[in-house]
Chain A
Amino acid sequence: MKVVPPKLPVKKSLTLLLALFILAGLAPRRPVLAQIASVLTADDKSDDTLPRKTQGASPFRIETLPVGRDAQLLTVFGNLDGLKSEGAPDREVPLVSILRDTLGDENPENDRLRYVWMLTYTRPTALQRFASAVPFLYGRVGDKKRASVKGVPPPVLDLADPKRDVWQRFMWLALQNVVFNPYGTAVKASAGALRHNNERYRQAHILRALAILSLYEAETGAESAFTPAESAEIQARLMLTSKTFGGLIDDSYLDEVLRRQTTEQLDARGHNWELLRQRAETEGLYFEPLEMPGGSVTHALVWVTREDLQKHNGRKFGSRFLNIASPWDDSRLARWDGYTETRYLDASGRTVAEGTEGARKVELIPLALYGLDFPKIPTLLVDFRDHLNPKKREMSHRVIEDVARNVLSLSRYGDIHYFLGRTVFDFVTSRRGIDVNQPTRLRAYSQLKLLLSLDATLDRGLRDEIGKHIESVSLNPLENDLEAEASLARQQYAALVAASKKSDGLSLKLDRDRREEMVPLEHGSTGRVLLRFANVLSFGVYKHRETAAPETVRQTLDAERRLAYHKRFLQEVAKSTPVVEVVWNVEDVRRSLRYVAEAGERGDAGAARAAAKIFAQTKDAETRRLCLDCLYRINNEAAKSALLRVYQSPELGPELRRLTAEYLRNALREEQRIAPEDAKAIIAAIGQ
């Protein structure tokens, strides 16, 4: 066991205090600038501020609210028909909001997406916060009834600064190991529990936001309020929050991330659907897929008929992948008085209407509900006979981790025996698909909650039964139940709407973000590293922002964002095809080249490389000329080096050779940045 050196009491107290301060700060933060919007305090009143739902079959619609004169708040509303009780009012609920910084124009090239709010994600109550720090407390402690209406609700992600997540994660780790762990098991376990619960609470809401946005995209298609690039960015960035270094991945990979993750998810879903169907078939049970509004099947129920219970009494049962007890010798089922459904099946086993000729009446008893979006196996979410069964499975990984880390002080990286044992155990459980020690089923639960909320076709009794079970399965004291979440979402949206109307609300926040965005334009890489250090060392309290007039900021960012947009486009073009005009609309390429050329000085080596590559990959004379123009006007060594290589190319036609020579000559004359050896080569080749 590792021995922790004793520390001075004062030092110890100070670090503990500091740590607690940081801990408090890492839970969803309170707004810095709080303004009470009196009109939004009550549910009824907040309802008045919400837009009315439009007609249509889709359970989603989007609403766009202006934020100041140069940003938009886009909110996805959902019809939570699944929550509707008899005689209840309209249950349209705001679900996800996203802040789009437009810089006040219609041009999407300079837009930037900022915050994503999953409106059910809220700051916990004091009791929830306390409970979340209690080690080995794997359960809920009640709901938050009323969200704060002061200021801006906590976002789940800042799309403009995804790296922050990574640094924060590492800071947490450092804090845990350096500050908390030395204080002994209780503090270590408490801090660990708090961190895990916070992370999982946020992750659960990120997953739900992701599910909502992907459903929204599937429902709206080309009519979506987001451009395809924005949609990919939002979804990919949300997906990447589950990866340790996900926030560091370059924007150019976001499409690929989205595609791969979506493919993997659909792959897992299909395999689980089929695995569960086959297992149910083999064991003589009934399999029923449950559809999300978009048509995707994310969950499935397994039933048994009362008739079969009598017929197959004592039959051998294989629980592999089903992970439930045998129904064939279960006395609880023999006297089952819980939820049942009566259906009529035709000769081929299809459900038909009552009275259909030849139809057979069956009474079905639900046995279990499974999530299909889980890696490798259908994951048990509800066992209708044993509500602790899925909870025990979900807890298994957490308990093993907590006991090893907090009680036994074992670390994979500090104990070779534990490392080997754990690696083998993890491999066996994962490979065999044993539903113990598996990754968390947060996604499946989040989706199930969404399914229950959105799907009005599920029988009320069954929905209530499922709802009761999933709430009891939750391991996280920070979680709230479905009804509470709907109410919190309304309140938080109302707060967001209020903040969007205040000059010191979202607009101010946006202004600060823009000034932060200016930092790379004003400071070199060394300066930026130092500023980042300052930010880390002050535990996030100090954050450097440039001071400039809002109009200056807007103009500067407009130019920079558009340059970044065109550069990214050119890089994509250059990377995607050996002949540009076969794949791309040449006029689009020319437009981007023109913009980069006009930006001249501000162009960087990446833009130069893209232009040089496009020059080599097109036969279009105008495009080639524009590439040369870019290379001339971008004032850096990479551009001039590329221009020189073009000039030296034997395949270059006389006209372009003349133009290239002229550009190189001018570059020398204008004393542009040229590598010494290139300068010599230029002089040797074309003179001064």
Chain B
Amino acid sequence: MLAGLLLGLFFSLHVTAFATSAKRLVIVKVDGLPFDTVDRFVRLRDPRTGKSLLPWLDHVFYQGGTRLANFYVRGMSLSGPSWSLLDTGQHLQIKGNVEFDRYTLHPYDYLNFIPFWVANVGGVRVDMPGPELLDEVGIPLLADAYPYDERFLSFQLYQRGTRWTTLQRGLQNKFERAPGELFDEWQLGIGGRNILNTQQERELEDKLQDPKVRYLDFYTGDFDHAAHHNRDAVTQLAALRELDALVGRVWTAIQRTPTASDTALVVVSDHGTNTDERIYSQGYNLVKLLASAVGGGHHVVTKRRLLNAYALKGIYPLIPLIYTTTDDSFYLKGQSTTYPTALVDFDGNERASIQLRDSDLNLIHILLQQLKRNDLPAPLRSAATDALFDTINRRRAGWQQTVSEMKDELGALHHLIERQRAVVEAQPKKWTKEDSDTGRDREARRQFARLDSWSSDEREYTVYLQSLAGLLALDRSRFNPSEVNIEALIPKGAMGDHNSIYALQNYVAGPAPTGLALKPDGSLDFERSFVRVNYFSLLGDISVRNNVQPGVEAHPVDFVAVRLPIEATGGAFGKDEIPDEVIWLYGGRDRQALILAREEGGRLMLRYLPIANLAQDARGRVSFNRAAWHAGLPLKLWEDASLNTPSGEAREGWLGGWHTDLEWLRATHLTKYSNAVVGLHEQLARHIVEGTDADAPRLSDDERCMRRFRARQRVLVESDLLLLANDHWNFDVRGSNPGGNHGSFFRISTHSTLMLAGGEHTRIPRGLVVEEPYDSLSLMPTLLALTGQIEDGTRPVPVLWRQGFRSFPGRVVRELFEETDTTAPVADTINRPEAKP
């Protein structure tokens, strides 16, 4: 009782602390801005002026605001997922810049603006794919906390709606200038990006004059672009100086508004960048590897054109699915668009997500092809037929469950479509200016976009299910291979279900060059009948001959990460070890680890377990050898001098235990891989949210089915293999990014930027540097706390709750709210005061 009262008092104190709120929020979102780079240049003096090289960042945030010295991406250092964490404050639902649905090949391309603009003009889409997806799973964005007419959103990844007038006015303003100036700029080169950014900035400054607007943001990807291309400090500094000048203009514009003292300005970035002035980032072509015979002879689908800048088709901006056809396919020659067997997303480019077609589908496909041959000897025909039906029967239960569940789900979807159609038809056909000003017209178009998207889902999944049902309907007794239409049985353009570890270690890539072979007992000899690939050893063993840069290893792949189904690990763990989730990191035969995760009392607990020789047998049982801690294990924690275990704890003892995500973050954030243990869990674990929680009470059947359907869709985009590149390696094959890359869990890539400053009423401390590590999940609750929209550090105020906002798993940056008697600088035991420049 007393404890409850004390807890209540504690929370009420925090409500009071957070209630010192900003009334207006201006966020400058900078893609790929590494804090270390910012910090380095802010501290350097311009010999010409004696001021900082980034004088505005120095003035606004270093002297007049607060900066977080250790702010990290939680998860991969990749824009799509990372901005989703920052913009929602909820665990990851979006796991890549591009995701592919395994059943339908439907691509979710979260980065590509042009198809969105085209669809927007056509009226079939209102929002970028990111917000659409988050709407489906019921996660609102920070901007959704503000009514339509009280917010100003720039062009960004998680963009709601678009403003065509911005481009039009941008062009007008660009060319309404003195001829001399225009001439000089023409000679220098007039950039479209510049036109758009300048106009957005102009509009933001205009909107600042409107006291009604309480949320404004501005997104820029210029630094990220520069750092991908150029490794030199001059280029990166130039991009930073443009950002610095932008911050200066926005800050000054804020100061000229009557609400300046209530306005907070925030600069936040989604990730850092692995760039080094002495090293070119080297690319490795995974598409080529997978297409090669040794890689499995796959027809590969990507969402980025290979060597785009050198392809005539590269000028086509809508970027459909790109099929890379291989001549090395073992059994699907000439069928690349019908039967691609690998999907690759390499954005970032220090990581790549690979999905391979279900190995059993390959097996069935090959056997059907073989059985259709007239020259197959009878014993082989019999053995192959047995093998075919054995395989189908082995998968029958799972596939039948899929068919059955998805029929229910598509039924529920159909009901939803019917209801939605009525909603769409009820929408007015004409809109007034008031409707437009309040966003009602967009909301109506959004209803249509949903209907369109759902209808397409229903159509595409139905096609897949029909094929699967056909396969299940095959009857051994009536089976006549010559009458079989393979294309009706093997779903086209589908990867089928995820591959098991066993399948990935014994992947059926094609028939053996010598054809099918029999065992002495007359059954099919699987070992000799098929070309098989072990993808773990294949990827782990890649090595290059041209090793010309000191500091760059000859192996492009650092490690491979996969999620292990917990049911397969039964018996492998002791009583106190049993996890809810397991992630396997493969760095080589004797360089492997498991990341175990479980929930204890509402807290996420994680453990790192060194192992070797993990394998799964054909029955699905996973086995491995436990290994002692040694150098060279994935994430290289053991040998990292920056590992900061709690005082008095031996390295081995601490590393061997279960710890909360915060404890891991505090101990490891300064190591080479920073918060990778937490990040890998965030990336590979499944995070159930309200929109995907089919087990929630009091749901109607349709609601339950729809939630299960949404959860299934998220599972279907998961990778079979997540590849992490070695330091200064990347997997970009669209072009090359010699300047630098990101996407990995290296600290240099995950170490991001968060800085805040504000007028006096916001009470954001001046000259404060927060040394305590925080991650992306902290941004949303912190900003809501800053604006008085959160109650106890986790729970949104009722009005937001009603809009779909839910408790936030991240920590509020408490240092921002700690009251002190002194003016700047502010510090406590954790934070060190910043010396005056």
On whether the two chains bind one another, the answer is yes
B19 touches A (CB below 8 Å): no
B378 touches A (CB below 8 Å): no
On whether the beta carbons of A578 and B738 are closer than 8 Å, the reply is: no
Q: Please, how many residues of chain B have a CB less than 8 angstroms from a CB on the other chain?
A: 51
B310 touches A (CB below 8 Å): yes
Bound complex: CA A136 to CA B360 (Å): 65
Residue of B nearest to A229 (CB): B48
On whether the beta carbons of A349 and B554 are closer than 8 Å, the reply is: yes
A-side interface mostly: helix
B736 touches A (CB below 8 Å): yes
Binds B, one of A109-117, A286-294, A590-598: A286-294
**B513-550 residues at the A interface, CB under 8 angstroms:** 543-548
On whether the beta carbons of A271 and B735 are closer than 8 Å, the reply is: yes
Report chain A residues within 8 Å CB of B55.
577, 582-583
Contact of B736 among A257, A262, A271, A576 (CB under 8 A): A271
Bound complex: CA A275 to CA B311 (Å): 15
B207 touches A (CB below 8 Å): no
What mask results when residues 267 to 302 of chain A are scored 1 for a CB within 8 Å of chain B, else 0? 100110111011011101011110000000000000
On whether the beta carbons of B188 and A275 are closer than 8 Å, the reply is: no
19 contacts between A and B (CB under 8 A): A263-B234, A266-B235, A267-B229, A267-B235, A270-B280, A286-B545, A348-B553, A349-B547, A349-B554, A431-B309, A431-B314, A431-B315, A433-B310, A577-B55, A579-B248, A582-B55, A583-B51, A583-B55, A585-B50
Report chain B residues within 8 Å CB of A432.
310-312
B801 touches A (CB below 8 Å): no
B59 touches A (CB below 8 Å): yes
Bound complex: CA A282 to CA B238 (Å): 35
Bound complex: CA A286 to CA B544 (Å): 10
In the assembled complex, how far is the CB of residue A126 from the closest CB belonging to chain B, in whole angstroms? Answer: 38
On whether the beta carbons of B547 and A428 are closer than 8 Å, the reply is: no
In the assembled complex, how far is the CB of residue B280 from the closest CB belonging to chain A, in whole angstroms? Answer: 6
Report chain B residues within 8 Å CB of A263.
226, 230, 232, 234-235, 238
Q: A246-B187, A585-B51 are in contact. Are A273 and B234 (CB under 8 A)?
A: no
B282 touches A (CB below 8 Å): yes
Bound complex: CA A274 to CA B732 (Å): 11
**A336-355 residues at the B interface, CB under 8 angstroms:** 348-350
On whether the beta carbons of B547 and A271 are closer than 8 Å, the reply is: no
On whether the beta carbons of B738 and A577 are closer than 8 Å, the reply is: no
Q: A259-B238, A274-B736, A280-B546 are in contact. Are A582 and B231 (CB under 8 A)?
A: no
A260 touches B (CB below 8 Å): yes
Q: A267-B230, A582-B59 are in contact. Are A281 and B180 (CB under 8 A)?
A: no
A376 touches B (CB below 8 Å): yes
B822 touches A (CB below 8 Å): no
Report chain A residues within 8 Å CB of B47.
222
Report chain A residues within 8 Å CB of B738.
270-271, 273-274
Report chain A residues within 8 Å CB of B56.
577, 582-583
Residue of A nearest to B740 (CB): A270
On whether the beta carbons of B187 and A576 are closer than 8 Å, the reply is: no
Q: A274-B736, A349-B546, A349-B554 are in contact. Are A584 and B230 (CB under 8 A)?
A: no
Binds B, one of A57-65, A72-80, A247-255: A247-255
Contact of A376 among B226, B235, B285, B309 (CB under 8 A): B309
In the assembled complex, how far is the CB of residue A531 from the closest CB belonging to chain B, in whole angstroms? Answer: 21
On whether the beta carbons of A277 and B282 are closer than 8 Å, the reply is: yes
Interface centre among B183, B226, B229 (most CB of A within 10 A): B229
B653 touches A (CB below 8 Å): no
Report chain A residues within 8 Å CB of B232.
263, 266
B642 touches A (CB below 8 Å): no
Q: Please, how many residues of chain A have a CB less than 8 angstroms from a CB on the other chain?
A: 49
The 8 residue pairs across chains A and B that have the minimum distance between CB atoms: A270-B738, A349-B547, A578-B252, A274-B736, A348-B554, A274-B738, A263-B235, A287-B546
On whether the beta carbons of A253 and B184 are closer than 8 Å, the reply is: yes
Residue of A nearest to B54 (CB): A583
A228 touches B (CB below 8 Å): yes
Bound complex: CA A576 to CA B49 (Å): 13
In the assembled complex, how far is the CB of residue A579 from the closest CB belonging to chain B, in whole angstroms? Answer: 6
Q: A263-B234, A277-B546, A350-B547 are in contact. Are A577 and B280 (CB under 8 A)?
A: no
Contact of B548 among A262, A266, A288, A583 (CB under 8 A): A288
On whether the beta carbons of A250 and B180 are closer than 8 Å, the reply is: yes
A384 touches B (CB below 8 Å): no
Residue of B nearest to A281 (CB): B546
In the assembled complex, how far is the CB of residue B423 from the closest CB belonging to chain A, in whole angstroms? Answer: 47
B602 touches A (CB below 8 Å): no
On whether the beta carbons of B248 and A583 are closer than 8 Å, the reply is: yes
Bound complex: CA A588 to CA B545 (Å): 56
**B552-611 residues at the A interface, CB under 8 angstroms:** 553-554
Residue of A nearest to B59 (CB): A582
